A and B are shown apart, each in its own frame.
Chain A
Amino acid sequence: MMIRLSAKDNAALSAMTHEEPLIAKITVNPNLPNGLRSQSVLIIHEPAAIPDGFGLVLLAFDGEIANAPVNTVRLSNDIRYLKENDVIKFYPAGCKINVLYRKEANVNTFLLTERCNSFCIMCSQPPRDIDDSYLVDDILEALPLIHPETPEIGFSGGETTLIGNDSFTRLIQAAKNHLPNTSLHILSNGRNFNNLDLAIKVSRVQHQDLMIGIPLYADYSQLHDFIVQADGAFDETIRGILNLKRCQVPVEIRVVIHQENYHRLPRLAEFITRNLLFVDHVALMGLEMIGFAKSNQQALWIDPYDYRHELQDAVETMAKAGMKVSIYNTPFCVVPEAIRCHAVKSISDWKNDYLDECSKCSAKQQCGGFFSWNLSKPSLHIQPL
C-alpha cells in the first residue's frame, strides 16, 4: 500500500522553540537519558504523561492532551506509522514533516537535487531548475542518524552529479564513514562521468559496496538522445560508463522500456554484450506512470505483454553472455515463464500496490506488483497464477 513520505497537516499543540528545521531520529523511549533528548523526537501512540526535554514530541493519536510541553505536535494520520529509528525533517514554520528514512523500508532513497541536464520523455521525477543545494546538507546531517544495519540506501535526482564533484564525493564518503555495512546505489545519467576526473574521485573513496545505475535507452545515438532530449547524451553516457569501469566503479545499466524503444531492445542487448559486457548488472524496467510518463502516456505506454518477445530475447542474450540481468517493475504473470527467474521485486514499498485480483494469486509473494500510480493502467493480461 502507498505510504506517504511527507505531511503538512500536522498540528502544533504548544509553542515551538525551533526556528530552523530539525533533522532528528525518532525514539519511543520516554525515559531516554536527558542528555540525548534534545536531539531526539519522541513518538507517543497513546495518552500518557509527556516527559520534558525532547527536541520534538509527536502524538500519533487523536485524544485530548493536557499540559503539552513545548514542541509538541499532533501527527497527520498519513504518517502515524513512524517508528523507532526513523529519521524525519521537521519544519517549524507550517509544521511540515518529511520522512527522510524509515528503518522498515526495503530501500531508502535520498533526493540529491531536482535539477537535471537531461529531460527524459518518461521522467518520473520531472526536473526543476531550482536552488536546492540545502538537500546535500540535509543528507549529510541525516546519514549519521541512520541505523547501521540498514542494508541499502539510494541517492537519486534529478541528475545527482549536478550537486558538484566535491559534494558528490563528500556524500559517498559520508555514506561510507557512517554506514560501513550499507550498500549505496546512486542513480545518474552518467554524462558527467565523461569527465574522467569525477570517476577517479569517486573510485578513490573506495566505498565498500557502491553501484552507479546509469540509463541507456537505445543502441544508437539518435534514439537515446531523443529519449533523454539531449543531443550528445549517448556519447557522454557511454564514455561515462567506460570511465567508471576503467576506475573499477561498479555500474548498472538501466533500460526503461516504452513505445519508443521496445522494438530495438534485442539490438540494445546485443550492443551491451558486445561493448559493455563488463558492467555489473542490467535492469530492464517497466514504465512508471507518473511525471512525464503520465503526461506522455499516449506516446509511451505499451502493455508489457506486447513486448514480451523482445524482453525475452534481450534477457536471454545478456544472460547467456554471462551478465547479471533483472526485470524490474513488471507484474510476474506478464513476464514470459522462461525468464521469470530474472523478475525482481523492485518497487519501493511506499509506492507499491497490487490489484484486487492479485489476492487470488499464488505468485503474489514473488511478484513485484505495481507502482501505486500504475494501478489505473495495468497490463490487460494480468492473470492470477
Chain B
Amino acid sequence: MSPLGKRFKLVDDFNQAENHDYHLLPSRFAGLDDGRYLLSNEVGEYLVVDRSQLESYVKKAVDQDSDFYHDLKSKHFLFDDDSNVAIDLLALKYRTKALRTSQFTSLHLFVVTLRCDYTCQYCQVSRQTDDKHAFDMSEETARKALALVFRSPSPAIKIEFQGGEPLLNFNLIQYVVSEAKKLNETHKRDLQFVITSNLSFLDDTVLAFCQEHGIHLSTSLDGNEALHNSNRPRPGKNSYEITVKGIKNAQRFLGRDKIGALMTTTEKSLSQVRSIIDTYLEHNLDCIFLRPLSPYGFAVKNHQTQKYDIDRWFEFYKEGLDYILEINRQGHHFVEVYTQIILTKLLSPFNTGYVDLQSPSGAAIAAIVYNYDGDVYASDEARMLAEMGDRKFRLGSVHTDSYEDIWLSDVLLDTLESSLSESAPMCHDCGFLPYCGTDPVYHYATQQDVVGHKAFSGFCAKNMKIFKHVIKLLEDPDTKKILTNWVR
C-alpha cells in the first residue's frame, strides 16, 4: 500500500498507549471445548479464544498491533491510554441490560381456580372436584390482588390467568379483565392479558371475549396424538383432538399471533423430538419451547424427573434444535424459544423478560403469583412447592398483607440477596454468567438451599450445556445467519 501524502501522519502516530500497558475491564471465562474458552464481559459481549490468547490477555501480553488486541478493545475487554470512552459505553450497556430489574414486576399470574378436567400425572397442582367454592378465586380476592398489581411501577403489565383450568372460572376472568381495564384508565400501563388453558372450554363466547380484549391464549401441546394423550389424560381420552381444534379455532378467530403452545417433556418424549416438532409445524405454530420436566409437585413424587437425567434431555434438545435449523434452512422460519432467549442475551444489548434466567432472580420482582385463595407466591414453582407442603416462598396474602409487607418480606429480600449470581460460588467467576441467572426456588426444591451447589445443580448443568452448544453453533456462518434472525 502506498503511503499517504506528506501532510498526513501515520497510523502509529495516533496511538497514545504503550504496548502491553493496558487495563483489564471486568470479564470472565469458561471452558468451551478442547483448549478453547469463552471470554465474556460484564454486558455479555464475548470472544471465543484459545488458551494462549486467554493467557496473553490476562498477562497483558497481547500485542497492540494485532487484530486480537483490537477485538478485545472494541468489545470492551480492555482499555488503554489511547481511549477511555469504553467506561461510558459499558455503563450505558450495563444499565440497558439491567433495565428490566429496575422496572420491577411486570408479569402477574392469577390462579383463578385449581379445578381441572384433566388428570395429567405430572401436574403439580390441579384438583378434580365439583365444589366450586373450595378452589375458585373469589371476586374479593381478585380485587385485592389487582390493587397490588397496579402498585408495581412497571410500564408494562401482563396478567396471566392460570389454573387448574382457568376457563372453569371464566366469570372471574371476565371480572378481572374489566376491573383491570377500569383501573388502567388512570394508571395507563401497557396492559396485556394471557389465558393459559387446555382449550377444552374454548367456545364462541370465550373467543369473542378474547377478540374484544386482545387476549392471548397459551396452551399445552406435547407432541403427536399418542404422546399428547398419554401425557395429558382426560376422561374422553381425546385431549389431543380438543387441543388442536382449539388451536385452529383460536388461529382462525383471533389470529396466528394470538395463540401459542408450550410442551412438557416426559420420558416418552425423549425419543421423538422430530415428531413433536412436526406436530407443531402441522398446526401452523411458528415456535416451540423444548422444556425439561420441572422437579416439582406430582412430578417429583412420581420420581419422573429422575428417570432421565440432564444429559438425556440435552440430547433431546440438541436433536430438536438440529432439526429446527434444518427446517429453517429449507426457508421456513421456525424458532426454538429457549435458544432464542439465550441468543438475545448473547447477541443483543438487551436482556430478556424470561424469569428463570435473571440475576437478581425474577422471583416476585419480575413475576408474581396470586393463588386462588389470595396467597401470594414468589413464582409458580413456589406455589407448587407449597402444594407439596413447603410454604417457604409464600410471601403473604392479599387479604392480610400490604404491598410493602409482600415485596419487602424478609424471605423475599433474603432470597434475592443471597442468590445473586454475581456473588454465588461458581457463578461469580463463570463465563456464562451474563447469559445465565439464578433460580433460588429450584435450588431450594432440589438442594434445600436457595444458592445451591452448582456442581450438583441440574439448572447449571442444563444451561451450561446449552450455552456451549449455542455458542459453537454461532461459529458456522450459515447457522449464524439463521440464529441471528431469531434475536428479538
Contacts and interface: CB of A to CB of B under 8 A. Distances in A.
Interface of A: 119, 121, 219-223, 225-226, 229, 231, 234-235, 238-239, 242, 259-260, 264, 267, 270-271, 273-275, 277, 292, 295-296, 298-299, 316-317, 320-321
B106 to A, nearest CB: 21
Contact of A229 (B8, B15, B70, B88): B8
Contacts of B487: 320-321
Given A220-B74, A223-B11, A277-B349, A295 B5 contact: yes
B51 interface: no
Contacts of B89: 238, 275
**What 4 A-B pairs are tightest by C-beta distance, nearest first?**
A221-B83, A298-B2, A219-B74, A235-B85
Nearest to A321: B348
A320 B486 CA distance: 9
12 contacts: A119-B8, A121-B4, A220-B73, A221-B82, A222-B11, A239-B88, A242-B88, A259-B1, A270-B74, A274-B43, A296-B4, A321-B487
B70 A274 contact: no
A121 B485 contact: no
B78 to A, nearest CB: 10
Contacts, number: 87
B423 to A, nearest CB: 26
Given A264-B70, A296-B5, A222 B349 contact: no
Contacts of B4: 121, 296, 299
Nearest to A259: B1
A83 to B, nearest CB: 40
B13 interface: yes
B45 interface: yes
A299 B84 contact: no
A73 B214 CA distance: 70
Nearest to B11: A226
B186 interface: no
B73 to A, nearest CB: 5
Given A226-B11, A235-B85, A239-B85, 8 more contacts: A220-B73, A220-B83, A221-B14, A226-B10, A242-B88, A271-B75, A275-B92, A321-B348
A235 B84 contact: yes
Nearest to B79: A221
Contacts of B8: 119, 121, 229, 296
Contacts of B15: 222
Contact of A234 (B43, B85, B481): B85
B471 to A, nearest CB: 15
Contacts of A275: 89, 92-93, 349
A220 B247 CA distance: 51
Contact of B5 (A222, A226, A239, A292): A292
B71 interface: yes
Main secondary structure of the interface of A (DSSP, over half): helix
B3 to A, nearest CB: 6
Contacts of A292: 5
Nearest to B84: A235
B307 interface: no
Interface residues of B, number: 35
Given A275-B93, A296-B8, A225 B88 contact: no
Contacts of A242: 88, 92
Nearest to A275: B89
B9 interface: yes
A225 B15 CA distance: 9
Given A121-B8, A277-B349, A320-B487, A267 B85 contact: no
B16 interface: yes
Contact of B14 (A222, A267, A316): A222
B306 interface: no
User: Which among B5, B13, B14, B70 has the highest number of chain A CB atoms within 10 Å?
Assistant: B14
B121 interface: no
B82 A222 contact: yes
A299 B4 CA distance: 6
A89 to B, nearest CB: 31
A242 B10 CA distance: 28
B271 interface: no
B484 A320 contact: yes
A238 B90 CA distance: 13
Contacts of A238: 85, 88-89
Contact of A219 (B9, B14, B70): B70
Interface in B82-102: 82-85, 88-89, 92-93
A317 B477 CA distance: 12
A275 B92 CA distance: 8
A239 B87 CA distance: 11
A226 B2 CA distance: 16
Contacts of B349: 273-275, 277
A225 B93 contact: no
Contacts of A267: 70-71, 74
A320 B296 CA distance: 39
Contacts of A229: 8-9, 14
Interface string B339-377: 000000000110000000000000000000000000000
B9 to A, nearest CB: 6
A151 B11 CA distance: 41
Contacts of A234: 83, 85
User: Which among A242, A274, A295 has the highest number of chain B CB atoms within 10 Å?
Assistant: A274
A231 B13 CA distance: 9
Nearest to B15: A222
A121 B1 CA distance: 14
Contacts of B75: 271, 274
User: Which among A225, A226, A275 has the highest number of chain B CB atoms within 10 Å?
Assistant: A275
